[in-house]
Amino acid sequence: MPALRPPLKPLLLTLALAGAGCGMARAQQTTTSQPSPPATPDAAAPTPQQKAKASPAPDSVALRVHLRQAATLQSKYKDSEALAEYQVALKLNPQHYESLWRAAVLSVSIGNRYSDETRKSAYFAAAHQYADRALAIQPEGGESNYAMALALFSEAGLMTARSRLAIFKQLRSHVYLAAERRPDMPEAWQLLGRWYYRVAHYNVLEKAFSRVVLGGYPQGASSKKAMEALEKARQLDPTRIQYYYDLARMYKYQGRRRRAIAVLQEAIKLPTYTSEDLTVNRLCQQLLPPLVRAAARRDRLHARWYSQLKMDSSKPPSAKENGTD
């Protein structure tokens, strides 16, 4: 019997996508401190019976102490110490919803500081596990879906092109639910805006691969929706410079230079509290001058064109134009 051959078209698309890059640019910086590697969550996802019992249980005094300490540390930008407090809280109550989704978010934040992909991957994998457990407790919770979307988005940057496309398809429900259930959470709107923009700019090869191999690509994304979502995030928290930077880049790529310039001019005036803020502030300062020069060139061209048009309109008509010899 002849050997079965795989379909040629999906195979060619897979090989072509293996060399294609489709990740979004990120501002990343190696941390100066060296937090210990993330502790792998050791509690399994709860069964339906455990889930029913987990939610109504009141927090113990000891657990509340660790939650307060974690919140205080996080407000001081001590993410590693805050994560350790949430990990202790989860030993006291492995199904504590807030500790799970916050531990996921902090794991991503810490992982993003490393340039080493092994360390990044370890933190992102831990974040994914924490988010999985939070989703098992509240499948439609805004926080749990945001945590899962953030973990997936972060993991996608370390994957092959083929795997990234599968992740972006999977992300749709999480980013939508996060913004829908927690419309007051600016981080959820930022993530939704990034997803909108990335999916709206799939190239021909990415669309073809998604159609043939993944059964279709996510619908409903557009640049307009992306910018609206980022504007919403900025309105909810006008102190976060990352929202300004993301929004300015979108305006730039859409040819809206003046709007991008206005956003960047606001961004560079914001105070910087962390090394990440300082990095993004520098990126904003690098992005601004070329946009200002391009806008100035356009203004000069318009001024010359208008001046020429005005001179032409003020000239008296020639005798030939009047029909006389």
Assess whether pLDDT exceeds 70 at residue 19: no
Confirm if 1 and 149 have CB atoms less than 8 A apart.
Answer: no
Assess whether pLDDT exceeds 70 at residue 12: no
Q: What is the pLDDT of residue 60?
A: 86
Mean pLDDT of 281-301: 90
Which of 148 and 10 is assigned the larger pLDDT? 148
Angle between the N-to-C axes of helices 241-253 and 186-200, in degrees from 0 to 180, rounded to the nearest 10: 20
DSSP element (H, E) containing 321:
helix 319-322
Mean pLDDT of 20-42: 42
Provide the pLDDT confidence category of residue 62 given band limits of 50, 70 and 90: very high
Q: What percent of the chain clears pLDDT 70, i.e. is strictly above it?
A: 74
Q: What is the pLDDT of residue 27?
A: 37
Q: What is the pLDDT of residue 310?
A: 66
Q: Of 36-50, 60-74, 300-314, which gets the smallest average pLDDT? A: 36-50
Which of 52 and 187 is assigned the larger pLDDT? 187
| Token pair of 151 as six digits | 């973990």
Assess whether pLDDT exceeds 90 at residue 324: no
- Of the chain, the end-to-end C-alpha distance in Å amounts to 94
Assess whether pLDDT exceeds 60 at residue 55: no
Q: Of 190-204, 211-225, 311-325, which gets the smallest average pLDDT? A: 311-325
Mean pLDDT of 52-65: 69
Q: What is the pLDDT of residue 35?
A: 41
At residue 167, φ and ψ (nearest 5 deg) are -65, -45
Separation of alpha carbons 275 and 77, rounded Å = 10
Separation of alpha carbons 91 and 66, rounded Å = 11
Separation of alpha carbons 121 and 149, rounded Å = 16
Q: What is the pLDDT of residue 143?
A: 97
Assess whether pLDDT exceeds 50 at residue 325: no
Query: In the block, which residue shows the tokens 């502030």?
Result: 281
Angle in degrees, CA 143, 98, 117, rounded to 5? 70
Q: What percent of the chain clears pLDDT 90, i.e. is strictly above it?
A: 65
User: What average pLDDT does the structure give for the chain?
Assistant: 83
Query: In the block, which residue shows the tokens 């407790």?
Result: 137
Assess whether pLDDT exceeds 80 at residue 282: yes
Q: Tens digit of pLDDT for each residue in 212-250? A: 998 888 888 999 999 999 999 999 999 999 999 999 999
Q: What is the pLDDT of residue 217?
A: 82
* Cβ atoms < 10 Å from Cβ of 310: 9
Q: What is the pLDDT of residue 280?
A: 95
* Cβ atoms < 10 Å from Cβ of 306: 10
Separation of alpha carbons 220 and 123, rounded Å = 31
Provide the pLDDT confidence category of residue 300 given band limits of 50, 70 and 90: confident
Provide the pLDDT confidence category of residue 53 given band limits of 50, 70 and 90: very low
% helix / strand / coil in the chain, to the nearest 5?
Answer: 70, 0, 30
Residue extents of the structural domains in the chain: 42-158, 238-312
In CATH, 42-158 is 3.40.50.2000:
no
Provide the pLDDT confidence category of residue 17 given band limits of 50, 70 and 90: low
Q: In terms of residues, how long is the chain?
A: 325
